[in-house]
Amino acid sequence: MRFIAHLLLAISAVGGPASGCLAQPMNLLVIQTDEHNFRTLGCYRDLLPEEQALIWGKHAVVSTPHIDSLASRGAICTSFYAASPVCTPSRAALVSGRYPQNTGASTNNLRLSEDVVTFAQRLHARGYATGFAGKWHLDGPGKPQWEPQRKFGFQDNRFMFNRGHWKQLELTSSGPRVKARNAKGQPTYSVSGADATSFTTDWLTDRTLEFIDSNQSQPFCFLVSIPDPHGPNTVRSPYDTMFDPSNFQQPRTYDQTKDQTPDYLGRTQSRFSKQGMAKYFGMVKCIDDNVGRLLAKLSELGILKRTLVVFTSDHGDLCGEHHRDNKGNPYEASARVPMIVAAPGKIPPGTVLDVAMTGVDFAPTVLRLLGQVDGEDQLEGMEGRDLSELFLTGHVPSDFEDVAFTRKAGNSPGWVAAVTDRYKLVLSPEDEPWLFDMEVDPDELVNHYHDESHAPVVRRLAKALAIYGPQHQDPHLRHPKLVEDLAAAQAR
């Protein structure tokens, strides 16, 4: 199959009889960050009212021109959610097109099931060169565990490591390793001495550039998984002093009351740090500069116009909102993530898609956008929706069902949510149902579940959950209280 693909490409390249009807398939470059708050990106801030865009202060802004350029050349998804807002299950859904509970990796540090067929496997079978660099987090507890034996279609995984948020990496005669070491020679998260060749974001970008150089003459699929801006909030010079900590303030929701806080969230857990936020912004700026390097390389090689570039993250970071940091709950800054897709000649520039999607929709959609799916049977085993028509046309059909699902990690009973571009219905064993209306309450402080005016929305989302639960074997929705709440919600 690889030989045939290369032969057809060669005929096309030399202007032979097939050159008028054959075109080299588009490449795929996926840039995935870790624990990334969408409000740090200019293209997302531009779509928000000022009080939502500048939640850490009017002068707490990081410029992201390179990531923004992807949005202007393609599509930005304003309501894209992690299928489960922690690392492993979100990543499992993205690569597989399956809901987390059906991947074997429903919570952190579990192994992806052997029967999972990823989008990379499907592309490799069609002649693509495939590779991965950075954090994988789908092969169990190994840390860092370089080059996992199970590749899942990412054939060049020399620079894949399973776990960790290492700040410095290096190449040695024995292969890649963590550069920062303690007195016992064990790897650490230290950033001391990091520079533009060893800092992890830069180092992974270098490996990606090498892969692109080596595979520029054939269709390729590469995923670079950058472990920033996940904590620890440290970054190399000059990004460590680029943002003034005094410009940052606590988000407006930092001191919300108990009545404004669902019981399923548990105790508060944030110690808001202005210095930490300044470093977080520094990590984002470093990421954007490296995205610029990748785009420049694609342009230099003359292949930018035939490369589908994706920028996304595995989950968000509350960064002090709701008196919380990190992720793991259905709040916007935790569960909602960047999803930007640029595909020249396919996706209309400046497309804004205001519909709910999750990571489970990614694989079937991107395979169709690449033209690597001939029929529905070739998406067998995937549970996500093929949303390629939305991207290709830039329009959402009037009959489109704007509902997606996100859930607490793991299979022990926990919250599960049905989300739309505006609403979020959350059911949980620990509390009554909550309905957030993000148009009238973007801070997510008010439970609209009991409002009579919202009863039709409650019924619609409850019905969607009632279908989703058994269809996708979600054990959360088998919990007696959730069964009871779901029945009551449908009867509103």
Packing angle between helix 480-490 and helix 455-471, nearest 10 degrees?
140
Dihedrals φ, ψ of 408, to 5°? Answer: -65, 145
Q: Kindly report the CA angle at 473 between 464 and 317, in degrees rounded to 5?
A: 75
Helices (H), 304-413: 332-335, 362-369, 388-393
Cα 394 from Cα 351, distance rounded (Å): 5
Q: Global pTM?
A: 0.95
10 has pLDDT over 50: no
8 has pLDDT over 70: no
Domains of the chain listed by start with CATH number: 26-393 (3.40.720.10), 412-490 (3.30.1120)
Q: How many residues does the chain have?
A: 492
The one-letter amino acid code at 225 reads S
The one-letter amino acid code at 117 reads V
Q: The tokens of 409 are what?
A: 């990690």
Cα 91 from Cα 137, distance rounded (Å): 8
The reported pLDDT for the residue numbered 379 is: 87
At which residue do the structure tokens 């990334």 appear? 36
Strands 351-358, 404-407: pairing is unpaired
Which candidate, 383, 380, 384, 390, places its Cα nearest to that of 343?
390
Cα 240 from Cα 13, distance rounded (Å): 46
The string of pLDDT tens digits covering residues 149-200 is 999 999 999 999 999 999 999 999 999 999 999 999 999 999 999 999 999 9
The string of pLDDT tens digits covering residues 201-228 is 999 999 999 999 999 999 999 999 999 9
Cα 312 from Cα 95, distance rounded (Å): 13
How many other CB atoms are there within 10 angstroms of residue 103's CB atom? 27
Cα 312 from Cα 20, distance rounded (Å): 35
Q: The tokens of 269 are what?
A: 């857990």
The reported pLDDT for the residue numbered 4 is: 47
**CA-atom Rg of the chain in angstroms:** 22
Residue 327 and residue 315 in contact, taking contact as beta carbons nearer than 8 Å: yes
The string of pLDDT tens digits covering residues 318-370 is 999 999 999 999 999 999 999 999 999 999 999 999 999 999 999 999 999 99
The rounded mean pLDDT for the chain is 94
Dihedrals φ, ψ of 12, to 5°? Answer: -65, -40
Residue 9 and residue 204 in contact, taking contact as beta carbons nearer than 8 Å: no
* 407: helix, strand or coil: strand
